[in-house]
Amino acid sequence: MYAYDAYVLDTALSKSTPLMTLDQRMMDVAKTMNITVIDL
């Protein structure tokens, strides 16, 4: 995971916004962090 990925996840978590990504690893991590994921 890159620093940018961590920033995006942290922003989604702190702003309570869903995450939209094509990256399966990002989706998996977001789900473990209870971030809503919009799958494309």
The pTM (predicted TM-score) of the whole model is 0.85
Cα separation, 36 vs 16, whole angstroms: 9
H or E segment to which residue 30 belongs: helix 24-32
| Residue whose structure tokens are 């940018």 | 4
Residue 17 sits at φ, ψ, to 5 deg, of -115, 150
| pLDDT 10s digits, 6-37 | 999 999 999 999 999 999 999 999 999 999 99
